[in-house]
């Protein structure tokens, strides 16, 4: 639905807003969540993050973040967030309670259906009809108070856009508290790449700074990297998943956002591309230029839905709330920055040995090393040699000295100095089995290790099974699609496969590429 932006602006005001050495904090220029002498306003960052034209969306998400609790559900219009029909009080939250979540979902869908019927009835009789009942008249007044002129056609369109949104005040506050553990270091990463420090607050929208976050579609960590995108910047295999490490993942997010901004030319487009995908935003930019308001109102794509359209204004609202959190939540005790020691393991050790050496509880050890996977903690229970083990501050030297007294485990894995992972071939191993265990292909292992015959590996041979992310990035090439190209012809040119190109570029349809589109290619 196309809206009159000029009238809306008249109604509402503009809303106000790795390497450990890298994280040594300087006294000057550090952003802090402490109250500053001058209140933060979104106007202060408008040159890079314009908010004009998104006042309604920012106001809506600010209330979702700060006013509505997780037991409150708001019924609203999908396209015009000024229209809030009603708020349902569900009395109980649903986190971790799947039966209750199913019960509430059924009830909420029924309520939405009733609202749609009400809107259709108003459309049929007309908003001024004396045949409307009290509930229908109340809906008409809600639409009118949003600054819209009620018409039959308007209510017909509104009937297809009813949506409900659960409040996240409790969740946002929890995320605000958790953010203190790493936020200063996260901000320093963005400064090191000369990127806007406000981007450090994106995890409020992505994950609420939940360091164990894992979505139903497979996105992991506070930056919610999908496996396909994460592998471009991070080590991800059976043993190590750096998406789950807040510092490693932040470095990856900063590089990815820098890349998106260089390609798309503005932060509204780059931030949205982080959520929606680079190719989709490149297509939108070709059609509508840099005007993100025009893109939101007019760009049509099956994948460019409510979440993608609202990701940027959600971020603006999160920035405003996080910077002025005392205005919304009062005095809050933010978690203190997490300090730690790092020990490079000279040998592989069983998890229980590391616990004994440091007198550490397993959950504490896991919280400091979230990038070690469940397979390590529950199956192999071995931390590979070369792994940079994080420990509570002050315990590193003692643990390092104590480990000398313990017998190393016989793990076949070693983490090389450059971050690559090495595997020592055991009796009975095949290259196919090894490739499957580490989420790669036989041909890739052959290329990395100079193996001509995949059936000729030897027991005791040391194989590279996971390349360091920096090496992966350097091996990548970029190709700009030309007229007459197909994904198959590009795959042949770079001696790769259509399937790999689809995965590397998050493409769904091999027939939908366009001239000028930039593709990541990884030659075999």
| Catalytic residue list | 206
Q: Cα–Cα distance between 273 and 54 in angstroms, integer?
A: 18
* CA within 13 Å, CB half, 11: 15
Structure tokens at 143: 């639409």
Cβ neighbours around 188 below 10 Å, total: 21
Contact predicate 384/409, CB 8 Å:
no
Q: How far from each other are the two terminal CA atoms of the chain, in whole angstroms? A: 47
Burial class from Cβ neighbours inside 10 Å (0-12, 13-18, 19+) for residue 452 reads exposed
Helix axes 396-403, 351-358, angle to 10 degrees: 120
Structure tokens at 453: 């015959």
Contact predicate 337/180, CB 8 Å:
yes
Listed residue (114, 59, 121) closest to 86, CA to CA = 114
* Residue carrying the six token digits 């040119």: 493
Structure tokens at 320: 């405003």
* Residue carrying the six token digits 């420090």: 197
**CB proximity list for 336: less than 8 A, separation 6 or greater:** 180, 181
Cβ neighbours around 51 below 10 Å, total: 24
Listed residue (299, 297, 255) closest to 274, CA to CA = 255
* Residue carrying the six token digits 């995890």: 203
């Amino acid at each position: 639905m196309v809206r009159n932006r000029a009238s809306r602006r008249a109604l509402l005001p503009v809303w106000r807003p790795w390497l450990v050495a890298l994280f040594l904090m300087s006294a000057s220029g550090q952003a802090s969540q402490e109250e500053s002498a001058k209140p933060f306003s979104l106007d202060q960052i408008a040159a890079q993050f314009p908010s004009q034209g998104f006042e309604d969306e920012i106001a809506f998400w600010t209330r979702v973040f700060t006013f509505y609790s997780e037991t409150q559900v708001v019924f609203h219009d999908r396209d015009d967030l000024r229209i809030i029909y009603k708020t349902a009080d569900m009395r109980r939250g649903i986190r971790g309670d799947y039966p209750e979540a199913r019960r509430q979902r059924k009830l909420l869908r029924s309520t939405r259906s009733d609202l749609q019927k009400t809107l259709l009835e108003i459309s049929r009789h007309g908003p001024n009809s004396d045949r409307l009942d009290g509930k229908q008249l109340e809906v008409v007044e809600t639409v009118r108070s949003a600054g819209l002129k009620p018409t039959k056609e308007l209510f017909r369109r509104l009937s297809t856009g009813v949506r409900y949104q659960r409040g996240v005040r409790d969740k946002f506050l929890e995320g605000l508290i958790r953010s203190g553990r790493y936020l200063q270091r996260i901000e320093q990463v963005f400064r090191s790449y000369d990127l806007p420090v406000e981007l450090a607050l994106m995890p409020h929208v992505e994950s609420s700074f939940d360091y164990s976050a894992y979505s139903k579609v497979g996105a992991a960590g506070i930056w919610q990297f999908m496996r396909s995108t994460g592998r471009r910047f991070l080590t991800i295999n059976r043993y190590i998943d750096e998406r789950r490490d807040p510092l490693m993942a932040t470095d990856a997010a900063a590089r990815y956002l820098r890349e998106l901004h260089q390609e798309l030319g503005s932060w509204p487009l780059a931030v949205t591309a982080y959520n929606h995908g680079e190719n989709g935003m490149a297509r939108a930019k070709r059609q509508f230029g840099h005007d993100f308001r025009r893109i939101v109102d007019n760009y049509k794509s099956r994948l460019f839905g409510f979440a993608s359209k609202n990701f940027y204004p959600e971020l603006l609202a999160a920035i405003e709330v996080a910077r002025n959190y005392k205005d919304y939540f009062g005095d809050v005790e933010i978690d203190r920055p997490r300090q730690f020691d790092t020990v490079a393991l000279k040998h592989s050790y069983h998890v229980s040995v590391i616990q004994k050496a440091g007198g550490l509880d397993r959950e504490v050890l896991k919280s400091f090393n979230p990038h070690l996977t469940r397979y390590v903690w529950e199956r192999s229970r071995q931390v590979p040699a070369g792994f940079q083990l994080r420990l509570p501050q002050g315990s590193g030297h003692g643990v390092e000295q104590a480990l000398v007294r313990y017998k190393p485990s016989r793990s076949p894995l070693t983490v090389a100095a450059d971050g690559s992972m090495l595997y020592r071939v055991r009796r009975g191993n095949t290259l196919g089995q090894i490739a499957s265990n580490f989420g790669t292909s036989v041909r890739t292992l052959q290329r990395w290790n100079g193996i001509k015959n995949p059936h000729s590996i030897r027991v005791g041979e040391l194989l590279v099974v996971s390349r360091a992310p920096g090496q992966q990035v350097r091996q990548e090439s970029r190709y700009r699609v030309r007229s007459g190209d197909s994904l198959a012809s590009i795959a042949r040119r770079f001696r790769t496969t259509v399937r790999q190109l689809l995965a590397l570029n998050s493409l769904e349809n091999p027939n939908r590429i366009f001239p000028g589109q930039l593709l990541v290619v990884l030659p075999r």
